[in-house]
Amino acid sequence: MTKIATLNVEELIDELTLEEKISLLAGSDFWHTSAVPRLNIPKIRVSDGPNGVRGTKFFDAVPSNCFPCGTGMASSFNKDLLYKAGQLMGKEARMKGAHAILGPTCNIVRNPLGGRAFESYSEDPSLSGYAASAIINGIQSENILACLKHFVCNDQEDDRNAVNTVITERALREIYLKPFQLAVRDSNPRSIMTAYNKVNGEHCSQSKKLLDEVLRKEWGWDGLLMSDWFGVFSTEPSLDATLNLEMPGPTRFRGQDLLSHMVNSKEINIEVIDKNVRQVLKFVNEAIATGIPEDADEEANANAEASRVLREVGDESIVLLKNENNVLPLSKSKAQKIAVIGPNVKVARYSGGGSASLTANYAVTPWDGIKLKVEEGGNKIELSYTVGAQLDKNLRDIGTILTTDDGSEGFKATYYFDSPETKDRKPFYENRLNSSKILLADFKHEKLPVDQDVFYADFEGYYTPDLTATYEIACSACGTAQIFVDDRLVVDNKTNQEAGDAFFLGYGTREEKSELQLVAGQKYKIKVEFGTSNTSALNVNMLGAGGVNFGIDVKIEPEAELVKAVGLAKDADAVIVVCGLTKEWESEGLDRPVMEIPGYTNKLIEEISKVNSKVIVVNQSGSAVSMPWVNEVEGLVQAWYGGSELGNTIADVIFGDVNPSGKMSATFPTKIQDIPSYLNYASTNGEVIYGEDIFVGYRFFEKMGMKALFPFGFGLSYSTFEFSKLAVSTDETNVNVKVDVANTGSTAGSEVVQVYVGHEDSAIQKPVKELRDFAKVHLNAGESKTVTVSFPIKEATSYWNVYKDKWECSKGTYIVYVGNSSDNANLTGSFDVTKTTFFTGV
């Protein structure tokens, strides 16, 4: 296809009709902007997301490589590696025909219960901003456009479209706007997405103060502002605030009749329309420069180099939190019995839920990763396994366990216009699927009319159990569904439905379950009859055609399974427990109600620890969970949601092929009451007060003199490091910090030099210290290097003066703290600021 010539923006603004201009101010569909073929203005494709590029489809999507979640990637504390991750994201966007990636997410992990906490980077604005900048620079180095999100204070899911964030200007500037400010300064993202919520009484998508005055005028940013999906709540105010693009299409607030009338009646100045159209056209020009044609075909990236990058990022994301008696690393070549127990062992928990979720190109389970290491070591290790405890809210995906008539993996899907009761109905389409978590929201077919909101589908496959036992079989639906086993109705989620929280944003029914006895080795025909969302009496149609989730698994009696797990543990030389959360518990659309791991997991670990002293827990979660058993286990690894390579990266660290170097991107408190926002979280009558002000995360713990379970920046290694010879100096613009780092252990490894700055001011409440920058250094055993970290003086010394409405760099002596965590930054130096100054901008 011939590359489209660059557009002359100013000439086009003169040539476009009012109707054409209006069309450009909203998307044409879920993933594309609007085109004006008469003037050769193409439509532009955008794609989720923050941890992998999905493309244009939820249903039957072209698979994608999945990166570790945001809190995991930030735990690498490695800007160069994050840049490399961004480059891979850019390459994958090109393969999906996407001109722009809807990411990264750099909201603040204000509270670990936040449904999208896993998707953001950190509780710390500097780490968040530097991580976002590195990834954006990587994406844009591939000539793909990044969309930084969600501007601003989108830090909870509860009442997210309406909640009013009540926040001081100082906290807004120093904590929540700061990562966006750093990203604008250091990476210049070509688009930014607004948040759903209000800030101090006004929706972000129509806040002239935030969008026009701060972002554009004060920071000097000149890119495209787009809404979050369905995140526009007005017509004139959002346009006046320079929200250029409403997404998705078709529009709800920028219709032709309405806007034409408002312009012609002088309710909206045509200059406001032109100003917004100008930004859209500039964005289109930048997208044209990618060389990606309209409606490009999508393809998966199965390149081995992509897997290598995913593994490297995953390896450096993992944080070793506890290693008593050097229980880790385990030897892969020593004859021993290892029990591998837990609900996350044989399931790949590779991402959180919501818009960050995707169909992974592949995903390595912890079991597969561990087995591969055992094989590499000569198969001298005897592995045993049991699930130990249940974790899933609903029965897990069985798409890859089912088989078709010819014995291949997956199951057949057949689509009809007529209901199952219709005699001799004929299908209009058939295909094969390999996931029983089916979302048909964007299902399209040439024979299916665009306005046809009711159709039906049968999903048929064969299930062959490994055990003779009692099984549970279940489904939830956004629509209606019934499950038949060998043509016998066993689950009815059609005639008597209850609302539940299944599906994206919780639009589905409660999961309905039945029990049945199955015989090992016998093949059973599973058939699910599904009707789209409008066939349900619940009338939940926010997900278009809706969908169905179905599953089948051995029924687990918690106490009996616990006894089995303890028996395996008692007979083992070491125990690996892989546990944590899933994308059902951490997801866009809902916040966690508690910090505890659901179900029997805590009891499982406590009981196993009573019979085996050599217990290693691998926790997978995107944010903090309570760990009442932490003093009873010798090893603890925080593995986050590790992306496609998660099983390999967990095994790399456990068996010592990789020396862990990750550091905690967020504080893990001992109990929920220790969270700074504990008393001021979630929506109360449509309002949330950010009462902890600037004291988020470690800032609060240090100010209160409290100990965290695991502090911000903390992470162990299989080696030891010493810091010495700190030297602090300043030049006209920067603070320059030099420190010698020595590897005093017997293993090569990497250490993170973390530089914090503190300033006592009797007139102003300030944190004890704040992270200002960091650097990662790799050292062989016995090696020493001098590490230099430089950052702007004004960044190191400024706070937001609400009276002056400016940043203030106060005169005085500033203490520099250097170490390898917020709780271990004991090497100190200082520098002086001789004159108080004020500034605005970036």
Report the CATH fold assignment for 394-554: Jelly Rolls (2.60.120)
pLDDT of residue 795: 94
Q: Which two tokens stand for residue 244?
A: 């250029």
Instruction: Using alpha carbons only, give the angle 105, 201, 125 rounded to the nearest 5 degrees.
Output: 30
- The whole-angstrom separation of Cα 478 and Cα 509 is 6
The tokens 């990789």 sit on which residue? Answer: 658
Contact predicate 641/352, CB 8 Å: yes
* 228 part of the active site: yes
Among residues 58, 840, 762, 724, which one has the least CA distance to residue 438?
A: 58
Classified as helix, coil or strand, 202 is strand
pLDDT of residue 506: 67
Q: Exposed, middle or buried by CB within 10 Å (0-12, 13-18, 19+), for 522?
A: exposed
Average pLDDT, integer, range 332-360: 95
CATH 1.20.950.20 fits 721-839, yes or no: no
The tokens 């020396």 sit on which residue? Answer: 659
Average pLDDT, integer, range 377-404: 94
- DSSP letter for each residue of 525-545: EEEEEEE-GGGSTT---TTTT
Using CA atoms, how far residue 367 sits from 12, 342, 773, in Å, is 58, 10, 37
Most confident of 318-322, 400-404, 508-512: 318-322
Residue 393 has pLDDT above 90, yes or no: no
CATH number among 3.40.50.1700, 3.40.50.300, 3.40.50.720, 3.40.50.10800, domain 307-386+572-683: 3.40.50.1700
- The whole-angstrom separation of Cα 230 and Cα 545 is 18
Contact predicate 417/428, CB 8 Å: yes
Residue 316 has pLDDT above 60, yes or no: yes
Express each pLDDT in 172-195 by its tens digit. 999 999 999 999 999 999 999 999
Contact predicate 158/505, CB 8 Å: no
DSSP letter (8 states) at residue 118: G
Contact predicate 287/100, CB 8 Å: yes
pLDDT of residue 423: 93
Confidence of residue 3 (pLDDT cuts 50, 70, 90): very low
The gap between the terminal CA atoms of the chain, to the nearest Å, is: 41
Average pLDDT, integer, range 660-675: 98
- Strands (E) in 258-307, as ranges, are none
pLDDT of residue 542: 60
Q: Which two tokens stand for residue 842?
A: 């970036």
Using CA atoms of 841, 220, 46, 436 in order, give the dihedral in degrees to the nearest 10: 10
Give residue 455's identity as a one-letter amino acid code: F
Q: Which residue of the set 159, 228, 458, 553 is catalytic?
A: 228
Confidence of residue 74 (pLDDT cuts 50, 70, 90): very high
Q: Which residues, at least 6 apart from 322, have a Cβ–Cβ distance to it below 8 Å?
A: 630, 633, 634, 635, 636, 716
Q: Which residues, at least 6 apart from 650, have a Cβ–Cβ distance to it below 8 Å?
A: 318, 366, 369, 370, 578, 618, 637, 639, 642
pLDDT: which is higher, 217 or 499: 217
Confidence of residue 1 (pLDDT cuts 50, 70, 90): very low
Give residue 504's identity as a one-letter amino acid code: F
Using CA atoms, how far residue 416 sits from 454, 509, 525, 526, in Å, is 10, 22, 20, 18
pLDDT of residue 505: 66
- The whole-angstrom separation of Cα 170 and Cα 414 is 57
Express each pLDDT in 408-440 by its tens digit. 999 999 999 999 999 999 999 999 999 999 999
The total number of residues shown for the chain amounts to 842
Contact predicate 536/482, CB 8 Å: no
Asked if residue 49 has a cis previous peptide bond (ω within 30° of 0), the answer is: yes
Please report, for the chain, the start and end positions of each structural domain, with discontinuous segments joined by +.
Answer: 42-248, 307-386+572-683, 394-554, 721-839
Domain 42-248: CATH superfamily is: Glycoside hydrolase, family 3, N-terminal domain (3.20.20.300)
pLDDT of residue 627: 98
pLDDT of residue 544: 82
Classified as helix, coil or strand, 115 is coil
- Strands (E) in 265-375, as ranges, are 319-323, 336-341
Beta strand 721-730 with 734-743 is antiparallel
pLDDT of residue 502: 77
Confidence of residue 346 (pLDDT cuts 50, 70, 90): very high
pLDDT of residue 539: 62
